[in-house]
Structure 1
Amino acid sequence: MRRALPPRRGRRRARGALPGGIGGTPVRPVEPRDQAQGVRIVAVVAPYYPPKVGGVENYAARIARAVADAPGLRPVVITTRLSGRRTSVSVEDGVHIIRLGAWLRLSNTPLSPLWPLQLRYWLRRTGAQVVNAHAPVPGLADLAVAVSGSRPAVLTYHAGSMHKGEPGSGLADRLIDVYERRVLPRVFRRARVLVAVSPVSLAAAHPHAVEITPGVDIERFTPGEPASRRPRTVLYVGRMDRSSAWKGVDALLRAFAELADDVADARLLLVGGGDAVPDHLRLAAELGIADRVEATGELTGEALPDVMRTAAVAVLPSRTEAESFGMVLVEAMACGTPVVGSAVGGIPHVVLDGETGLLVPPGDPGALAAACRKLLAEGELADRLGAAGRRQAERRFAWNGLMERYVDLFRAL
């Protein structure tokens, strides 16, 4: 729970507390008693953090929670605000969260000229001894590594190449190319340890990189009834921004238009937010499937696993290597839901074609429609893939084991 501060005027700050900007709970810096007891402060630095919904956000939050639960370690999270330029500080689920203001946003990337100074200040005042920065968007993570000083920096890189490869993205792709060829290698060299979230992460090829994938809460994402008995719902979960057209939602809509001709009771559920949602609904109307397509917006809490465990098929139709993992596929697999993914980026490392799901060529609506049709028509195949996906989620992607590796890594540093 966030605890709001009273107005700054006339308020005395507790000795040793830090200013909280526009509100929040002051962050307690490292104290001599902590040092005597061997308490180590880990600063988790990520451009986004809950309540914003997404894979990077969830991954960073899991690390912070694991550090908070580990004896001798204490986390501090440094992230950005969704709006506004002033810094805010709060305590959420027992973790101190420092949210820096952003002066502008380029695509999905928040930026501020004050961050180098602010990062130095907060790392020093919180007593951070290890920095765990999360990318791929340029900016905050790069600066955190650059200003880490003598603190060992662990950089977790979440993507393959961020080239969009979409019409009209020429300038953006040229800037991304300069960043990935000129800037990113220097950041990689500066980091003490690189963590790649999948074999296609740009960090994976470096000799001092380790692989720690995202995970799933297998006690929260649990199976429902067998897929063959569920309503014929095709599910997409993910962001739907115009700058993330590589997610391929337009291809999914065209595939569903083909599928809808053959499966009269099928419907498509789009879960997530973004400025492209109205565009997708207009395309659905043009394709004549508007009455069978529903956009729910973002779902949190138990609403998300509920839709996953009641869908007949979950689809991730991404088109580029920017999809370095495919977290929503793992969550669907944990729910016993058969999955269809594009054979691109990190998805083939998550989904074994014909064993734990089906893979199709990226950007191919016909192949995507055929795979979904197959799972809706062949109940035994759908049930088999769903059960195998659950076993895979338990064996490879349970959060607890993955986070133990991070805690061990921080202790070693």
Structure 2
Amino acid sequence: MKIFMGNRAGTAPAARDTGAARAHVRELLRECRRHGPAEVFDRRAERCRIRTVAVVVPYYAPHVGGAESYAARIAHAVADDPMLRAVVITTNLTGGRTEVGGEGDVLIVRLGSWARVSNTPVSPLWPLQVRRWLRRLDVDIVNAHAPVPGLGDVAVAVSGRRPTVVTYHAGSMIKGRPCHDRLLGWYERYFLPRMFSRASALVAVSPTSLASGRPGTIEITPGVDVERFTPGPAASTRPRTIVYVGRMDRTSSWKGVEVLLRGFTALADMPEVGLKLVGGGDALPDHLSLARQLGIGDRVEFTGELAGDALVAAMQRAAVLVLPSLTEAECHPMTLIEAMACGTPVVGSDVGGIPYVMTPGVTGLLVPPGDADALAATCRRLLYDGALADRLGAAGRRRAVERYAWPALTERYVQLFRSLLPAAPASRQGRA
């Protein structure tokens, strides 16, 4: 509670302040007579108490990904609010033990995971563990992020009477793998709507999110740090390098890296053009082998995962950034937004959330998903037409600043959390 002394210049000092103080005392005495001094004190202390928001996400830094970055931005925005406190509940991908650490003012609890199903960490202990940590950390609001089934569903199920905000990151997760698709189809049809209905507020990160279109859903897209991702040289003056940034796991074959490699063979008549693949995953050996089979191994650079200044530099130096995704699972690609913020021309498949991020012909170019020839032809066009590349790069930067700068987006979350907190909450004894 802050106490301010003194008066503003030009006001009548003593009379005004004394009158306000007497009115406040009279109100306080009336409350004490009606409810008793102890209850009045508890109510007023409760109004001033710092509230805790738990951001629950299956993966978190140092693991690299769009949902991880999105959740981190929310957590740090909450921590920056003087009346809120942020904790992150996530998974420990290196073992079955729970680890607790910190990142600035954000406490991070990493729950042990016993195995992975597809790309999803799992543990039978999570229901008990999440419930215990929500109590131990005195959590007021749960913000569950659900790019995949698992931890987010558990957090909503055990949240008790706490308000819950569900942020859903994915379009349909059906990926053309029959065994997995049957399970995912069952989850999306029967279980996911139940989780949505339990939420106090539902946030879709894109019009293609499965949460989009439901009554009362709020859309808050991912954003970009426009102070960090800044324009490099004019696109037409950059080294002639095509760049891909993203996961390269076998379970993420829908990212279309194989299509990109096959399309790149059509640029054999442009030996000065290189292809840079930025990211990690268990499919890296497969892609390296395919590049050699196609005869382009000496023109393809595999950098591994990049972060911080190295990632920014890779995007600032790219002549073209490509996202050749194949399915609706590409809900809202942060990679494209970051590249646009760097003034880099972008090419993406006409699928999922990609058409909502860029305006075709204005801030980027679209190609049919899975069409390697069309992808190569579009990249060739940008590499030859410097004026077009520069125009798309400049327009992309403007779009990133106007629509995707983080501060305005995270402020919407802070306001949403505040709106779900009653002025004088009931006793916590009834919480699960």
Q: C-alpha displacement at 1:71, in angstroms?
A: 1.9
User: Aligned pair 1:364/2:357, yes or no?
Assistant: no
Q: Give yes or no for the alignment of 1:37 onto 2:44.
A: no
Deviation at 1:108, TM superposition (A): 0.9
1:232 pairs, out of 225, 234, 240, with 240
TM-score normalised by the chain length of structure 1: 0.90
Deviations 1:53-96 (A, max 9, x none): 00000000000000000120000110001121111100112210
How do residues 5-404 of structure 1 correspond to structure 2 at under 5 angstroms? Answer: 35=46, 37-165=48-176, 169-259=177-267, 261-404=268-411
Structure 2 contact 114–122 (Cα < 8 Å) conserved: yes
Q: Judging changes above 3 Å, is the alpha-carbon distance between structure 1 residues 196 and 400 closer, same or farther for their aligned structure 2 residues?
A: same
Helix, strand or coil for the counterpart of 1:270?
Answer: strand
Report the CA distance between 1:378 and its aligned residue: 0.1
Task: For residue 34 of structure 1, report the CA deviation from its aligned partner.
Answer: 8.2
Matched-pair identity in %: 67
Contact 2:55 2:71 in 1 (8 A): yes
Q: 2-side partners of 1:163 and 1:240: how far apart? A: 18
Deviation at 1:36, TM superposition (A): 5.9
Supply the distance in 1 between the matched residues of 2:367 and 2:275 (Cα, whole angstroms): 18
Computing the radius of gyration over CA atoms, which structure comes out larger, 1 or 2?
A: 2
Q: Going by fraction, where is helix more abundant, 1 or 2?
A: 2
- Identify the range of structure 1 (124-133 vs 32-41) with the bigger mean alpha-carbon deviation: 32-41
**Cα drift, residue 104 of structure 1:** 1.0
Q: Distance in 2 between matches of 1:340 and 1:153?
A: 37
Which one-letter code corresponds to 1:203 in the other structure?
A
- Structure 1 residues 48 and 34: CA distance shift in structure 2, 3 A: farther
- 2: distance between equivalents of 1:316 and 1:235? 9
How many corresponding residue pairs? 379
SS in 2 for 1:121: helix
Shift of 1:37: 2.7
Distance 1:89 1:274 in 2: 26
Cα distance in structure 2, aligned partners of 1:398 and 1:366: 34
- The reply on whether 1:411 has 2:418 as its aligned counterpart is yes
**Counterpart position of 2:8:** none
Q: What amino acid is aligned across from residue 278 of structure 2 in structure 1?
A: V
The one-letter code matched in structure 1 to 2:87 is V
| Alpha-carbon distance in structure 2 between the residues aligned to 1:373 and 1:36 | 61
Other structure's SS at 1:366 match:
helix
Query: CA offset at residue 353 of structure 1?
Result: 0.6
**1:385, 1:144 → 2: CA distance?**
42
Whole-angstrom distance in 2 between the partners of 1:262 and 1:130: 58
Runs of 4+ in 1 over 6 A off after TM superposition: none
TM-score by length of 2: 0.86
Opposite residue 256 of structure 1, the aligned amino acid is F
- Partner in structure 2 of residue 29 of structure 1: none
Unaligned runs of 5+ in 2: 1-42, 421-432
Q: Deviations over 1:231-268 (max 9, x none)?
A: 00000000000000000000000111112x23220000
One-letter code aligned to 2:356 = H
Aligned-pair CA distance for 1:136:
2.1
CA distance in 1, matches of 2:81, 2:269: 53
Between the aligned partners of 1:363 and 1:130, the Cα distance in structure 2 is 42
- Is the partner of 1:262 in helix, strand or coil? coil
Separation in 1 of the partners of 2:409 and 2:290?
Answer: 40
CA-CA distance at 1:33 after TM superposition: 11
Q: Deviations over 1:101-134 (max 9, x none)?
A: 0111111100111100111100011011100000
Cα distance in 1 for partners of 2:236, 2:53 equals 46
What amino acid does structure 2 have at the position aligned with 1:282?
S
Equivalent in the alignment of 1:25: none
Structure 1's unaligned 5+ residue stretches are 1-31
